[in-house]
Chains A and B, each alone.
Chain A
Amino acid sequence: MPDGNDASGPWPDKPQDKKPDAQAKPVRMRGGGFAPMPRRWVGFAVFAVLIGLAEWGTRAGWISPLTLPKPSDVLATFGELYDSGLLFKHLAPSLSRLAVGAVLGVSAGIGIGILIGLFSYIRAGLVPLVAAIFPIPKIALLPLFVIWFGIDEASKYALIAFGTFTPTVVATYGAVDNVDRTLIRMGQSFDLSWFSIVRKIVLPGAMPGILSGLRVSLAIAIILLVAAEMLGAEYGIGAYILQAGSLYDLERLFAGVVILSLLGVIVSTAISAIERHLLGWRT
């Protein structure tokens, strides 16, 4: 009951119809924010608006066809690619290169990252090495890989593996450093074996950091896919894009780029799903 006339209250009676006290005003709200919530549709809306703008611009003529292909034409090219069966001919080798390269690089990266996180000598020896390797544009090493591993698949795997390795190492040893030491002391105080402590305390504790590192490494893997297919690849999304690019065939170029973007979105969604599944314990 909104009563202003409760005479039994500690404050003097104040009728409702009186105009509000000039000195009384609601407290200014200063809290909130800094807590992102899931808002699924916003992502789609941003894509839709951008594509819609491009379509409108290219149709209306204020974007010249030389600047940007018409999104509907790109879609048509994509349709042709699909109908001719070429899509899977390009996609299959690319996906297998991506999978093999990324699995090699990520697993080596997690392994070495954990060793760096756990052993002083390995850390002292390898951290500078990793820092030296990290900034090298891996694309520049492609000729070297071709000499080492041949022009076939192996050099492509090596390039992608090498590119995903360094960011994974850095993310992993950072994550291991951040594992709560009191949990490790607890494990020791219950006489858990070294191996149990690593497997049951260090690894799960480092998982959040490892997974967010994985987001970066897998995006890099997709970038390097195109570079890997620059040399000696007949089929592959990268090869397809490079062919289209050398012919200035913008529709095909964009169709290829869209496939890479979709790949990126799929990978990121998959990691989010893994995070939801594995990291449900986080507060």
Chain B
Amino acid sequence: MQIKLDSISHSYGDFEVMRDITLEIPNGKIVCIVGPSGCGKSTLLRFIGGLEQPSQGQVLQVGEPPEGCLNPLTYIFQDFALLPWRTVDGNVSLVLEDHGIKGKAAKAIIDDVLARTNLTDFAKALPKQLSGGMKQRVAIARAMAVNPAVLLMDEPLSALDSQTRELLMDDLVGLWERTPFTAVYVTHNLHEAVRLGHSIVVLSRRPGQIRDIVEIDKPLSDRQFGDADLDLHQKHLWNLMREEARAADAELINA
């Protein structure tokens, strides 16, 4: 299943947020979207997942989601969005219950996704007992449980410290290597973008427009912390963004 964005523009009243965005999310690839803050990245992601409608243009789903897919477009949120009153396994089971998956069948899925995210020992823990990194792993496990066709991630690592971020990036790469998934990964962190993106979409400041799309051919598993070629990509991206970021920053002060 692929996602196509067909000339999407959007305004909140007179407030133009993005302009004419056309983009394809190919099957089995991770597309990173970077851009200065306020340029409409989160809004765009809400359009892709059907949580909001753009004023112009449309989001198209090409092809049917694969068999066994419970929730084709699945989010991972920056602030984890775990139910604090449910244990780790309860949080995963939440998204299965509405599909009538209960008892043994649910337990099999929950055990599998918790094992894949190294959370087996924490199944009965409450979110308040977990570190930020662990909470985001639970959110990833929950997303895996519904077997998504496309993962939509909105700054999933931005609430974490940089060491935990590295660990979780390794986890994400590991999960992708096992079963390649399609993902849209929104971030303002260029380092994350060059580690995880097969292609990186650079947005201009608000109103967000596509400035450039950078492809990185190196396989995800070969990308390491501090690789020289990745650093070059990161520098290139920063050069593209620097002026935009400065202008966006000044704009926020004036507003």
B81 within 8 A of A: yes
Q: CB of A186 within 8 A of chain B?
A: yes
Q: Are A191 and B98 in contact (CB under 8 A)?
A: yes
Which residue of A185, A186, A189, A281 is within 8 Å of B84 (Cβ)?
A: A281
Which listed residue, B81, B97, B98, touches A183 by the CB 8 Å rule?
Answer: B81
- B253 in the interface, Cβ–Cβ < 8 Å? no
Q: Does A246 contact B (CB under 8 A)?
A: no
Given A191-B71, A281-B85, A281-B128: A182 and B77 interface contact (C-beta under 8 Å):
yes
Query: Is A196 touching B81 in the complex (CB atoms < 8 A)?
Result: no
A282 in the interface (beta carbon within 8 A): yes
- B-chain residues with CB within 8 Å of residue A283 when the two chains form the complex: 84, 128
CB atoms of A281 and B126 under 8 A apart: yes
Cβ contacts A139-174/B at 8 Å (1 or 0 each): 000000000000000000000000000000000000
Q: Which of A207, A279, A281: most chain B Cβ within 10 A?
A: A281
Interface residues on B, range: 20 to 34
- A residues less than 8 Å from B85 (CB atoms): 204-205, 207, 279, 281
Give the interface SS of chain A, mostly helix, strand, loop or mixed. helix
Say whether A190 contacts B128, CB under 8 Å.
Answer: no
Task: Check B6 for interface membership: any CB of A closer than 8 A.
Answer: no
Min CB–CB distance B23 → chain A (angstroms): 20
Cβ distance A191 to chain B, nearest Cβ, rounded Å: 5
A183, B75: Cα distance in complex, Å:
12
B128 and A186 contacting across the interface, CB-CB below 8 Å:
no
* B159 at interface, CB cutoff 8 A: no
Say how far B96's CB is from chain A's closest CB, in angstroms. Answer: 9
Contact A192 B81, CB 8 Å, known A186-B75, A281-B128, A283-B128: no
B73, B81, B126, B127: which contacts A186 (Cβ < 8 A)?
Answer: B81
Complex CA gap A186/B77 in Å reads 8
A210 to chain B, nearest CB (A): 13
User: Which residue of chain B is the closest to A192 with respect to CB atoms?
Assistant: B98
B73-101 contacts to A (CB < 8 Å): 73-75, 77, 79, 81, 83-86, 94-95, 97-98
Known: A193-B98, A196-B97. A188 touches B84 (CB 8 A): no
Which A residues from 209 to 254 make CB contacts under 8 A with B?
none
A282 and B71 within 8 A (CB): no
Known: A186-B77, A281-B84, A282-B84. A200 touches B51 (CB 8 A): no
Contact A189 B49 (CB under 8 A): yes
Query: Which residues does chain B contribute within 8 Å of A81, judged by CB atoms?
Result: none
Pair B98/A196 contact, Cβ less than 8 Å? yes
CB interface residues, A 47-77, toward B, < 8 Å = none
Bound CA span A63–B95, Å: 67
Q: How far is the CA of A207 from the CA of B151 in the complex (A)?
A: 32
B146: Cβ under 8 A from any A Cβ = yes
* B83 near A185: Cβ-Cβ < 8 Å: no
The residue of chain B having its C-beta at the shortest distance from the C-beta of A184 within the complex is B81
**Per a CB cutoff under 8 Å, which of B75, B79, B97, B127 touches A189?**
B75
- Which one, B94, B126, B128, contacts A200 given CB within 8 A? B94
A201: CB under 8 A from chain B?
A: yes
- Measured between alpha carbons, how far is A104 from B180 in the docked complex, in Å? 55
A-B contact list, 9 entries, CB within 8 Å: A182-B77, A183-B81, A186-B75, A188-B51, A189-B51, A189-B73, A191-B98, A204-B85, A281-B127
**Residues of B with Cβ closer than 8 Å to A?**
49, 51, 71, 73-75, 77, 79, 81, 83-86, 94-95, 97-98, 126-128, 146
Query: 3 shortest A-B CB distances, which residue pairs?
Result: A186-B81, A281-B85, A190-B95
Known: A186-B75, A200-B83. 16 other contacts (CB 8 A): A186-B81, A189-B49, A189-B51, A189-B73, A190-B94, A190-B95, A190-B146, A192-B94, A192-B95, A204-B83, A280-B126, A281-B86, A281-B126, A281-B128, A282-B84, A282-B128
